[in-house]
Amino acid sequence: MVLMRDDPRLYRFVSNLLAVVDPATPPDRLHAHIHEQFREALPAHAVDAFVFSLHEPVLNLINFAYFKAPANYPCPANRPLSSNGGLSDWVILNRRSRLWFCDEPGNDLPPPLNPVQVRYGVPLIHDDCVFGAMMVESFTPGFRYAQEDLEFIDQAMQELSRLYRLYERLRTGSFVVNNPSVPFLMCRIQDERVIEVNFRAVEALGYAKDEILGQPFLNFFAEDEREILRERYANRLNGEAVDTHYFSRLRRKDGADIPIEVFVALGDSFNGRPAVIVTCVDVSEVQRVQREAEEDRANLLKIRRQDSLTGQLNQAAFMGEARLALQRLTSVGNGTALLTALVILDLDNFKSINWFKGIESGDSLLRLVAERILNGIRQYDLLARFDGDRFGLLLSNPGSVDAVSANVQRLLSRIALPYELGSSAVSITASAGVSFFPLHGDTVEALVNNAEAALEVAKKQRNKFALVSDEIIQEYVLGLSYQEELKLALQRGEFIAWYQPKFDRHGRIVGAEALARWASPDRGLLLPSRFISTLERIGMIGELGRQIIEQACRFVCQIHDRGFKEFSVAVNASPCQFEAPDFLSHTARLIESLGLVPGTLELEITESVIMNSENFNYAVLDILEKLQSLGLHISIDDFGTGTSSLTRLRALAKYVDAIKIDKSLVDQIGLDASGDAYFSAILNLARSLDTPERKITFVVEGVETQSQADFLQSVGFSDIHLEFQGFHFARPMPGEQFLELLKRSIPS
């Protein structure tokens, strides 16, 4: 079972369902739980209706549905929702998912009876058998499922198919074992001899009927079972209270044993004397199913504890094991705890491996790093992969602080040795933070937090480790205080946009880039380097982006009101902001409310967001197309620092209006001939992207010297639409100052 990388919803989905996959759980409770898990994992209105349709007799339940209608629809709440509309039949027949829009032209499905706007159907498949379908439906006008949510639903349905089959097998096995109405062998016994037998006994035991009738019934049981069965039979005939329901084993004619469940009852008389009716149920298949179900459950529990990439413990399992370890390491006799070290280890600049080598190479490297760490610790130490490129270790009873320091240094040295990835060798280093129990906390959570604080110090130097100290803890606490200060600053509107002009090759101002500044009442004016990384870490970068975009839009309106109609402003859109579900709708509402002229707002999206192999898909291209339909221009930022391919650039040419050459490439101009040649090659790439119908603008940022400007404005690049930005031309400035500069740049 492969879990969806970087999506914790799937882990929670599987974990929560495992808690109720039990033969004692009635089907309606299981289905209600499945419905609730999808509602919790998906955005609002993504599960206005939920249909779980089983197209085979499973647990005597053919169709199941939940229905929830918004108040503004004339549909009674909790009304059963049928699968009319044919979507469930379609996904089962075609064995694949289907996204259905109510207003889709030429739709091959009949319209449903309920007021569905959009629905998504997914088949239930297990062992290459399609046994049903599930649909989520939205009644909300204009609602559309995000690509990442559709991928989550598909992955969740793969896991749900497996879990549902496990549940069915558990329920069916329990039913057969406890239901005496399903006979395998039935006979009447008198004087310990068989006087009547059904045909199933003949087939199952391998004897002819004449070989069974008249024989002592104990002859057909395993030898080690016969004495206790004879005693049971005698007691039953004497009218004593005995257990009439038990498990035993029959012996076939060929010597093989058959596990059975036995039900004994007094029957009608035979020749004037009472006879005993014995019903036996073959439970060999049930036992096999139970064994497999137990194995499945054990495997699923293992998956809950295991990191799917490296095979080591995941963070949740590590925290649980570490708690138990700390309890064991506390001496019962004198109440003193043995020294224990908790290490948080993080790879340095791991993103560069993903950028330049690809995601698969990055995953391979993480597996190799985990293997080296495991080989460098003792068998009873704990290792886990937390998330991304971060690992946790618990070194039990290491002896002393010095011994821990030496061990962590050896681990860092081992990690720094080259790795073979395919045909090339790759090197990477790591940093580590170390806390000690009980010196730096008496809980695992406290130890992890303090180790994280030490790691922050080590990361500043790279390939180093830091032990927790009072100074580090104090600095970490101040960092938490800084995070709260940033949150309040966002609420108070203390972040403002400054604007850096963009010039054409004739020196005219043609636009600007909006850059965030923090006008703190206590700290003064702060540059993005002081707050961007912290906002990204605490998940507030999207809010900053929304505020800067809104300020930039209002600034553009000001400039247009003063007569500069061709002016545009570019704003950076962070990866978190670009991938947010409400990004598109919020931007559309803002443009509509301000009446923004098309083409005057440009979104700069980093190269890694668009080019990354996991994100370069139809969902990204669809968002770009919709942004363009709103009148926005799209620019690729930091071009030249990632792993762009010409094929992908050509595919993007219809969506991208501008490409920004990164400053790191501009810095090479004038240093030597190779730097100039490399930059020329980048601009030659620009020529290949232009088409007669569409010409892409290349913005060169970070121009700081006259020689760089002269080189870029040379005749060799006259056929390329170039714009320039950098300190050589103008520095970022407040909006009022920019308006004055723009006014002076126009000849009177």
Higher per-residue confidence, 199 vs 495: 495
**DSSP tag of 4:** P
Six-digit token string for 381: 């130490």
Q: Are 722 and 641 found together in one domain?
A: yes
How confident is the model over 98-110, as a mean pLDDT? 73
Domain assignment present for residue 519? The answer is yes
Residue 365 is predicted with a pLDDT of 92
Six-digit token string for 71: 């108040």
Q: Which residues contact 692 (CB under 8 A, 6 or more apart)?
A: none
Q: Domain holding 233: CATH number?
A: 3.30.450.20
Sign of CA dihedral 346, 349, 351, 353: negative
Encoded amino acid at 49, one letter: A
Say yes or no to pLDDT of 430 above 90: yes
Residue 362 is predicted with a pLDDT of 85
Q: What is the distance between the alpha carbons of residues 231 and 247, in angstroms, rounded to a whole number?
A: 15
How confident is the model over 564-593, as a mean pLDDT? 80
Q: Are 683 and 653 found together in one domain?
A: yes
Residue 5 is predicted with a pLDDT of 53
Q: Domain holding 393: CATH number?
A: 3.30.70.270
Q: Are 195 and 76 found together in one domain?
A: no
Domain assignment present for residue 474? The answer is no
Domain assignment present for residue 511? The answer is yes
Task: Find where tokens 């064991």 sit.
Answer: 328
Residue 411 is predicted with a pLDDT of 93
How confident is the model over 54-65, as a mean pLDDT? 47
How confident is the model over 145-163, as a mean pLDDT? 89
Say yes or no to pLDDT of 445 above 50: yes
**H-type alpha helices, 312-400:** 315-328, 351-357, 359-375
For residue 419, how far is the Cα from the chain centroid?
28
Domain assignment present for residue 101? The answer is yes
Cβ distance 342 to 435 under 8 Å? Answer: yes
Q: Are 218 and 153 found together in one domain?
A: no
Q: What is the distance between the alpha carbons of residues 274 and 190, in angstroms, rounded to a whole number?
A: 7
Q: Which range, of 170-184, 217-231, 315-329, 377-391, averages the lowest pLDDT?
A: 170-184
* 29 — pLDDT class (breaks 50, 70, 90): confident
Say yes or no to pLDDT of 79 above 50: no
Q: What is the distance between the alpha carbons of residues 542 and 550, in angstroms, rounded to a whole number?
A: 12
Q: Domain holding 16: CATH number?
A: 3.30.450.40
For residue 668, how far is the Cα from the chain centroid?
40
Domain assignment present for residue 741? The answer is yes
Q: Are 573 and 687 found together in one domain?
A: yes
Residue 106 is predicted with a pLDDT of 58
Residue 11 is predicted with a pLDDT of 76
302 HSE (CA, 13 A, CB side):
9
Residue 367 is predicted with a pLDDT of 92
* 175 — pLDDT class (breaks 50, 70, 90): very low
Residue 78 is predicted with a pLDDT of 43
* 24 — pLDDT class (breaks 50, 70, 90): low
Secondary structure string (H, E, C) spanning 724-736 = EECCCCCCCECHH
**Domains of the chain: total:** 4
Residue-wise pLDDT tens digits, 671-687 = 776 667 777 777 777 67
Q: At CA 404, angle to CA 402 and CA 409, rounded to 5?
A: 95
**Percent of the residues in the chain that have a pLDDT greater than 90, as a whole number:** 13
Name the nearest CA neighbour of 699 among 721, 716, 677: 721
Residue 661 parent element (H or E): strand 658-661
How confident is the model over 103-110, as a mean pLDDT? 65
Residue 643 is predicted with a pLDDT of 47
Residue 516 is predicted with a pLDDT of 93
Strands 697-701, 465-467: pairing kind: unpaired
Q: Kindly provide the b/e burial profile for residues 555-581, where b requires at least 16 CB atoms within 10 angstroms of the residue's own CB.
A: bbeebbeeebeebbbbbbbbbbbbbbe
Q: At CA 383, angle to CA 378 and CA 384, rounded to 5?
A: 175
Last residue of a domain, one of 233, 252, 286: 286
Q: Are 546 and 682 found together in one domain?
A: yes
Q: Are 562 and 607 found together in one domain?
A: yes
Task: Find where tokens 């060799």 sit.
Answer: 716
Q: Are 227 and 83 found together in one domain?
A: no
Q: Are 116 and 189 found together in one domain?
A: no
Q: Which range, of 23-32, 209-218, 263-272, 652-661, averages the lowest pLDDT?
A: 263-272
Say yes or no to pLDDT of 512 above 90: yes
**DSSP tag of 720:** S
Q: Say how many C-beta atoms besides its own lie within 10 A of residue 551's C-beta.
A: 21
Q: Which residues contact 326 (CB under 8 A, 6 or more apart)?
A: 337, 340, 437, 442, 443, 444
Residues in the chain: 748
Residue 215's domain comprises 185-286
Residue 273 is predicted with a pLDDT of 59
Residue 721 is predicted with a pLDDT of 83
How confident is the model over 425-433, as a mean pLDDT? 90
Cβ distance 515 to 470 under 8 Å? Answer: no
How confident is the model over 466-476, as a mean pLDDT? 72
Q: What is the distance between the alpha carbons of residues 53 and 132, in angstroms, rounded to a whole number?
A: 6
Name the nearest CA neighbour of 603 among 622, 584, 589, 581: 584
Q: What is the distance between the alpha carbons of residues 197 and 204, in angstroms, rounded to a whole number?
A: 12
Say yes or no to pLDDT of 470 above 80: no
Last residue of a domain, one of 115, 147, 175: 175
Last residue of a domain, one of 147, 175, 203: 175
Q: Which residues contact 428 (CB under 8 A, 6 or more apart)?
A: 347, 348, 349, 350, 353, 365, 369, 415, 416, 419
Q: Which residues contact 277 (CB under 8 A, 6 or more apart)?
A: 186, 187, 188, 189, 264, 265, 266, 267
Q: Are 696 and 564 found together in one domain?
A: yes
Task: Find where tokens 């299981």 sit.
Answer: 30
* 178 — pLDDT class (breaks 50, 70, 90): very low
Q: Domain holding 698: CATH number?
A: 3.20.20.450
Q: Are 394 and 524 found together in one domain?
A: no
Distances from the Cα of 258 to the Cαs of 220, 250, 432, 593, 704, in angstroms? 10, 5, 59, 78, 87
* Mean of all residue pLDDT scores within the chain: 78
Domain assignment present for residue 301? The answer is no
Q: Which range, of 121-130, 562-571, 643-652, averages the lowest pLDDT?
A: 643-652
Domain assignment present for residue 707? The answer is yes
Residue 434 is predicted with a pLDDT of 92
Q: Which range, of 292-301, 360-369, 641-650, averages the lowest pLDDT?
A: 641-650
Higher per-residue confidence, 216 vs 237: 216
Q: Which range, of 50-54, 105-109, 200-204, 427-431, averages the lowest pLDDT?
A: 105-109
Q: Are 432 and 401 found together in one domain?
A: yes
Return the percent helix, strand and coil in the chain, to nearest 5.
Answer: 45, 25, 30
Domain assignment present for residue 292? The answer is no
Cβ distance 383 to 345 under 8 Å? Answer: no
